[in-house]
Amino acid sequence: MKTIQELNADYTQRVVIETENMEWETSEAEGVMRRRLERLKGNPEPVTTIVRYMPGSSFSPHKHANGEEILVLEGTFSDNHGDYQAGSYLRNPAGTNHTPYSQEGCTIFVKLQQFQAGDTQQINIQTQTQDWLPGLAEGLTVMPLHEYRSEHVALVKWEPNTTFQLHRHFSGEEIFVLEGTFEDEFGRYPQGTWLRNPHNSAHTPFTKEGCIILVKVGHLME
């Protein structure tokens, strides 16, 4: 039996990773590399990674035992069901299967084996063509992507010099900075930064230059 090497598995701890400073690691598929952000013990194993497909590379056919969530960051990601350009947000629920590849090359943000029981919605949203909705504060607009029970996923666009009020995260918050620089009283987070704020944590976020972030909340309670 293989030994699971856990990574950032303690959900009570805050995690901040500037992913663009990480080295790319090889995977079991030739031409497919990854930057692993978290990995937990489980059957199946919950994993969060950034994956890069070199042009013409592919991954073997596989089934999602507990779901797969993808945001295409660069290039065009493909599988036997279609092609997904940069900006595509995908959710493949438990029991689905596919054979992923990329003809031109691509980079994707991936969360594997982390769907809540009963979350069976298949999603394919091209965020670059969706409308932004008014946010909860001046200077904020939001693009809802998914909602199930306590879990909410959205893109949030911050105009320069925008500040949001102090607030607390019941059941946690996870952020991936897609453009610009996101900030709070604890630090500055440039493009490519992945943050995980634990249950009951609090902060006052803001941005000076403006940013776009992928946000997931309500999913980190033990």
Domains along the chain with CATH numbers: 21-126 (2.60.120.10), 131-217 (2.60.120.10)
pLDDT, tens digit, for every residue of 16-45?
999 999 999 999 999 999 999 999 988 888
Segment (H or E) for 196: strand 193-197
Contact 207, 160 (CB under 8 A): yes
Tracing tokens 């089934």 back to the chain, one arrives at 63
C-alpha angle 67-123-55 in degrees, rounded to nearest 5: 80
Q: Give φ, ψ of 21 to 5 degrees.
A: -95, -5
DSSP classification of residue 14:
-
pLDDT, tens digit, for every residue of 144-184?
999 999 999 999 999 999 999 999 999 999 999 999 999 99
Mean pLDDT across the chain: 95
Contact 174, 215 (CB under 8 A): yes
DSSP-H helix ranges across 75-215: none
The model's confidence at residue 111, banded by pLDDT at 50, 70 and 90, is very high
Q: Which amino acid is at 24?
A: W
- Please list the residues that pair with 82 across neighbouring strands: 79
Q: Which amino acid is at 49?
A: T
Query: How far apart are the C-alpha atoms of 217 and 199, rounded to whole Å?
Result: 10
